[in-house]
A and B are shown apart, each in its own frame.
Chain A
Amino acid sequence: MALRKTRISALATLLAATTASGNLLAEELRLITWGGYAPDEVVAQFEEETGIDVKITLSNNEDMISKLRATGGAGFDLAQPSQDRIVGVQRQFNIYKPIDYSRINTGQLQASMVKATQESTALDGQSYGVPSVWGTSGLIVHSSVADTVTDYTDLCDPAVAGKVSYRLKRPTLIGFAFAMGMDPFAAYEDRDEYQSIMAKVEDKLIDCKDNVKTYWTGGDQLLSLLRTGEVTAAMAWDAGGWKLNAENPDIRFVAPESGALGWIDTFAIPRRSENEEAAYKWINFVMQPEIAAKITNASGNFTASKGADEFVNAELRDAYRLSFDEEAINNIKWYPPVPPGLEAMEGQVLDRVQAAN
């Protein structure tokens, strides 16, 4: 413990020195979040209403955790990690502080989602997350191959050889496991069972490698691959699929037969947040239905705000309904919290797939 502290404090002093000058000025909210979650319009409105300056850093789950870990939870006032990536990380690195739910306007949030997030981010009787934006990963397919590719494992079909892309990250492992008829979430607490599932997925992904054009690493890269037709089937996020669908109706997002993988991104407060007050203000502000709808329009993802759907633009709503019927929604596999240690196991699988020929 002491060892870790010295390492962290050295870095923290460096960071504190660079940020200290900013604190003397106007009140500030330093937000680390995903692209599209804080559209300019919303930020401007918030700044006007509260007089708080919002500074945004765009990030993703791993990067958010790494940044906060390096500083012991300093440098940002509000973060937006996915709900399944909070408890394990909190236990290891202690980078968040519990949410004071009495300061959250829960009336404007969907009750079922609040309950689910509270449970999945609970540690020692306190919750560390508030639901904000949710979405799924599934398949983006071109209509010419839509009949062939209906599940993750169909990406290995010879008919789409060389026209396939997916990420080398944990959602791919989980998705393939479900498509192969296994239930990785049920095996989360049983390391040996999980290891055997991952071993099967590893073999499958190595076999499948010939089919893959490239493993995509960023959203823009994937969209351009699909747009040019260089890739006709990919495992990806729903929002990306809807965006492409608006440009080219032949490309659409489909929920795989084995179920789309559902994630919820949260609001979490870093342990050494310097402006908690502003963080709570931001949460309550952006979860108002009209504001939340603006976030949906910008990012393509729906939010936990109650009644925001009304304000979302019609095209997006139609695209959503086209991808998800009642059955597909009930079939969404929501990520449970990741127990510590599993990610190291998955990491080795991913490395071996990358290195395989």
Chain B
Amino acid sequence: MNSSVSRFSLWLLLAPFLLWIVLLVLVPHLQMLRVSFQVRESWDTLAWGLEQYQNFFSESYYWRTFVRTGVMSLFTTFLTLLIAFPIAWYIARLARGNSKGILFLACLIPFWASELVRTYGWMILLRESGLFSSWLQALGWVDGPVEMLYNDVAVIIGLVYNGLLFMVVPLVTTLDGMDESLVEAGYDLGGGHGTVLREVVIPWAMPGIVSGCIVVFMLTLGSYLTPILMGGKDSAWFTQQIFTQFITRFNWEQGAALGVLLLVLSSLLVWLGLKLTGQSLRKVMG
């Protein structure tokens, strides 16, 4: 009696999670997988085939866009790590008491606004008639308006900004748990700053670094608004092609195939990253 009640309440507690996973994650993905193998022969008949997947490899702009998206995402992730590490170090090791909380909050606050608002904020700063351009002119450093928007650098700035928090949080958590005496021991044994960082700090922070990198990489790879709004004419991003296939071209079959490929290829990249750094998913995710 008692055990059946507790089992029932366990299921009840699990129900929202299971419904969410099954209805909103599993079923749509399976549906997408199925659609991606359908080939529209004429306007009301369907057959099974691999045509959409072949398109990805034969039409160079699909895979070129994918490679571009992947490379830029990797670069963004690396840059985010470089910027986030000192911030996280300061918050975790150097800041004391109240200032620790305030600094952490300062990292968090921008994320109370949506990605769209943050992106428009950057656009106001970077555009030709924007703040940076007019400041540069007021200082007399440039003669005419400067366009800083609509190029890859602008896209990366936006993406790094969007990813920063997700890198800072895991880094702060891991660095927080590091024993001060480990660092001291490193110096005592004659290590310089570089050696201590390389031999003591980074190995300790590795799980945080890897999990932060995975999150930021996936977020960047899957972001849509920032590359489109800030990238301008050359800003091909893979998610944009998926959106275009589904919404503008009504070509669900191609869109689904591209979606599946994005999922598979990005998972593969993450797996490769884990292998290369000698980490395992279990260790990284705690």
Contacts and interface: CB of A to CB of B under 8 A. Distances in A.
A120 B142 CA distance: 55
A62 B247 contact: yes
A272 B157 CA distance: 46
A355 B250 contact: no
Contact of A230 (B59, B62, B127): B127
A352 B127 CA distance: 27
B117 to A, nearest CB: 15
Interface string A10-21: 100000000000
A355 B43 contact: no
Given A3-B46, A228-B128, A351 B250 contact: no
Interface in A226-276: 228-230
B81 to A, nearest CB: 28
B233 A1 contact: no
Contacts of A63: 247
Contacts of B33: none
B97 to A, nearest CB: 45
Interface residues of A, number: 35
Nearest to B129: A228
A4 B43 CA distance: 12
Contacts of B241: 351
A66 B246 contact: yes
A347 B249 CA distance: 7
Taking each of B65, B234, B246, which has the highest tally of chain A beta carbons within 10 Å of its own beta carbon?
A: B234
A351 B232 contact: no
A153 interface: no
Interface string B245-272: 1111111000000000000000000000
Given A91-B43, A209-B233, A230-B129, A66 B250 contact: yes
A314 B232 CA distance: 37
Nearest to B62: A351
Interface of B: 31, 35, 38, 43-46, 59, 61-62, 64-65, 127-129, 147, 149-150, 228, 232-234, 236, 241, 244-251
The 6 closest A-B pairs by CB, nearest first: A355-B61, A214-B232, A228-B129, A347-B249, A230-B128, A214-B150
11 contacts: A62-B247, A66-B247, A66-B250, A92-B43, A213-B150, A230-B147, A347-B244, A351-B59, A351-B244, A352-B61, A355-B64
